Each structure stands twice: as C-alpha cells, then as structure tokens.
Amino acid sequence: MQAPIGTGTPPPAATPRKWLILSAVSLGTFMATLDGSIVNISLPTIQDAFGVDLATVEWVVVGYLLVVGSVLLPFGRLGEVATLRRVYLAGFVVFTVASALCGAAPAAMALIGFRLVQGVGAGMLQAMGPAIVARTFGPGERGRALGLNAISVSIGLSLGPALGGLLTEAATWRAIFLVNVPVGIVAVLWAARVLPAERSGAGQTFDLVGAVCSSVATGALLLVLVEGQGWGWTSPVVLGLLGLALVTAVAFVLVERRTVQPILELALFRIRAFSAGLASVIVAFTGLFTATFLLPFLLEIGSGFSPLEAGLLLTPIPVVAAFVAPVSGSVSDRIGPRLPASLGIALMAVGLLSLTRLPTTIDVADLTWRLALIGVGQGLFMSPNSSAVLSAVPARRVGTASGTLAQARIDGQALGIAISGAVVAIRQPVHALALAGTLPAADVAREAMALAIRDAFVVAGLLCAVGIATSAVRGGFERAGTARIAPGAGPLSGSRTG
C-alpha cells in the first residue's frame, strides 16, 4: 500500500515554487466560485433580453450547479489516472471557451447549454484544486495552504453579486461571461508554466461505467433537492427522478465492488478521519446554505432592503471566513484538525441560532455581528477539515478524496436549499393562521414568512450542532499525512488497485 500524503511521498515543489502553484490553483478556484454567484443578480436582465419566463432562465444557474455536482467524483478519479495537471489545465480551457460561448449566446437555450459545458470545466477545476495543494505542501503547511486557497472561495462568493451588478449596468449581461475570457487565457498559460509535470499512473484505468452511474445518480438527486419544492415532492417527475437516483446509486455500489480500479474505493469510508470529515462538510454546508438562501428573502421582503443592499449585508460571512481560514489552517498543522474544526462548526451553530433572535425591524449592526460569527465558524472549520480529509487517504487516492470533498459541499448546498424551502412552505401557513386577525391582512403574509424563515434558522442551527459530533469523532491529534488505513480495509490494503 502506498503511504498517505506526506508519508514517504514528499511534495514535488520546493519553496518558493509551491507558492506559485498555489497561486495558479487559487485563481482557478476563484473563477469557478465567482461564476457560481455572479450570474444570479443578472437573471432578470437575461430574462428580459431573451423574453423567456422565470422557470426557463433559472436554469442558467440551476444547470451549472447540477453539472458541477455531477462530475466532481469522476473527475477526481480521472486526475489520478491522467494526472492532476492535465485534468486541471483541460478544465481551465473548457471553462474559458464555454465562457466565451455564453457571452455570445444567441438564445436562452443556447446560453443554458453553454452553461452546462462551463459547469464541466468548473467541476474539473474544483475537483483538482485541493488535490494539487495537498500534493504540493507537506504536513506542516498543508492546512495553511488550504486556508489561503479558501480566501479565493470567499472572495468569489462575496465579489460575485456586486461585480455581476456592476458589469450588467455598465455594459451588458454578456460581460459577466466575457470577462472570464482574457483572465482565463492568462490563467491557463500561468498554470501550464508553474504546475509540475507528472507521469500518468502506471496501469491505472478509468471506470467509465462507474462514472456514468455516479453522475446520473448524483445529478438526479441534486435536481430533486433543488426543484422538488416547486414541482411537488409527490409529483410523478420527482418520484421518477428519485427512482432513477436510487437505481443508479445501487448500480454504482455494485459496480464499484466488482471493479478492479473503481471510481471510489468504498474502503475509504472505513478511514474515520475521511468519513467523519465528509459528514461534517455536508452538515455544515446544509446549515450554512439554509441561512444564505433565505436571508435575502428576509431582508428584501421582510425588511424592505433593496437587492443590492441585501447582497452587501451578506458579505460578512465570506469576508470574515477569508481572514480566519489561513489562521485556522496553520493552527491545525500544529495541533491537529479536531479542535479547530469542531469549534468552528459549533460557532456556526451558535451564529445560525442567533439569527432566530433578530427583531422584526432588522438593525444592520445587529445583523452584522451575527453573520460575522457564522463567518468565524466557517473559517475555523473549513481549512482543518479539508486538510484532515485529504491527508487521511493514500497519496494515490488524493484526487478521489478531493473530488469527494467537493461533492460533499455541493450536496450540502442542495440539501440546505431543499430543507429551507420545505420548512418555510410548511411553517408559513401555520404562522399565517395564527396571525390572522391580529395584524392588517397586508402584513400577515410578510410576518408569517419572516417567522417561518426563523424556524428554518432553528433547523439549520440544530443541524450544525449535529456536525459538532461528526467532527469530534474524527480522532485526536494526528499530524497531517500520518493516517493509516485499517488492516483488511478492502482494496486499499491490497494490490487490486495497483
């Protein structure tokens, strides 16, 4: 069995080249994250430009999310077969070309199709980025490096809405895609220059059947989670998609158990640091996206803020997380990931529960400290948790671990949207009935929605509280890269997978 990362597999890049590699990875992470948030604010303009309904134009965003979430795991494995460098560069090229096509799209359906292609490129970037960082930095620096890379995520999330609005107003909605082209060309050339050359794994093969099963199962499930509330949880299309997801998921497990070189070695889940870290990510992002999905509704409909004001009011979470993530990563390099990660998710839970105490008339300062607390928790949690997951697996499986980790984040986001929508849909009529006769009719719906959103914040906080337990059971102090796979843990402990 090959050693885990950092154990017998020294990083390929020496100082200062490793920081150049990190810059190339961070640029790709930033662009992929930015394009997940920059488009939303321009959807009304795109809708008007093409003369389509809301159900059509929302697929510019939904389609991108679904494709990214569906390809992360297969591309994680492909990086192990074809090398991380090749997949990362190919992803950058696909992303850049698709951006140009999106900017030149002649019709709404063409734009949606090009966004799907762009999602493929973004999935390649997101699957490979953490894996490249993990292979580049040694045990004493990996957490800090991942924390620095997390800054690019925070900047992308916080800059997206403002930049999208600025480009749309100053030029046209097409500019939000076309701006990627010159930046993407420079980024591809830079990455090609600084990323180290790698040799393809000898005898490594790609499990195409497993990849198809994985993508179909994940895509169908994500589609249900994102659109289920609108379509109806018992509608034929939702039940059909759930059936498709179940059948292909079972087929995926059967294929992986019989394949010599599977997309995902199921024995990885016997590594406690790996499985606990993934569970923690899903729970944390479910709670986080319950809040970030619903807060704009609370701010705009419940309190009368404009869309731009609401977008700016949400920036404390990613901005504070950007400052905290590198520090928490460095701390985890010295004391291990369990304490900072568990403390981080606990602070997220407290911050989410504090949102339930917001007054009806929201004060900016009162909201800001609560969101900043969530940002501190997110920053404390993400870097140590990512470092623990990527360091727990054998070096030859870092691509799979990276793709799986990114997949867990997407799954958590989709679950957050689904759960928050379901809670509001169930609780709003209850609050409306209780408020009937106590308020003017025009105010009942708004107040009932605000109360239902606070109920969803309670659920989000409780979910993060569960995450404290999943984070704490990962194990005690363990310097990055020293995790070992338990004897008899299936293919990982033998020679089946080369």
Helix axis angle for 338-354 and 441-472, nearest 10°, is 170
Non-local CB neighbours of 208 within 8 Å, separated by 6+ positions: none
CA 159 – CA 468 distance, rounded (Å): 30
The first and second tokens of residue 346, run together, are: 């606990």
The end-to-end CA distance of the chain, in Å, is: 9
Q: Does residue 292 contact residue 314 with C-beta atoms inside 8 Å?
A: yes
Residue pLDDT, tens place only, 465-493: 888 888 888 765 444 344 443 333 334 43
Of the candidates 425, 426, 430, 422, which has an alpha carbon nearest to the alpha carbon of residue 460? 422
Angle separating helix axes 142-170 and 108-136, nearest 10 degrees: 160
Give the Cα separation of 315 and 368 in Å (integer). 9
DSSP SS3 for 305: coil
Q: Which amino acid is at 437?
A: G
Tell me what pLDDT residue 100 has.
95
Which residue ranges in the chain fall short of pLDDT 70? 1-16, 200-202, 307-308, 360, 475-498
Beta bridge partners, 436, equal: 439
Place of tokens 């009719």: 441
Question: CA-CA distances (angstroms) from residue 137 to 73, 330, 387, 415, 450?
Answer: 22, 12, 11, 32, 46
> Of the candidates 323, 52, 38, 246, which has an alpha carbon nearest to the alpha carbon of residue 156?
38
Structure tokens at 88: 């990362």
Q: What pLDDT shows up at residue 350?
A: 94
Q: Please, what is the average pLDDT of the chain?
A: 82
Say how many C-beta atoms besides its own lie within 10 A of residue 171's C-beta. 12
3-state helix, strand, coil in the chain (%, to 5): 80, 0, 20
Query: For residues 103 and 346, what is the distance between their CA atoms, to the nearest angstrom?
Result: 42
Burial 204-213 (b: 16+ CB within 10 A, else e): beebeebbbb
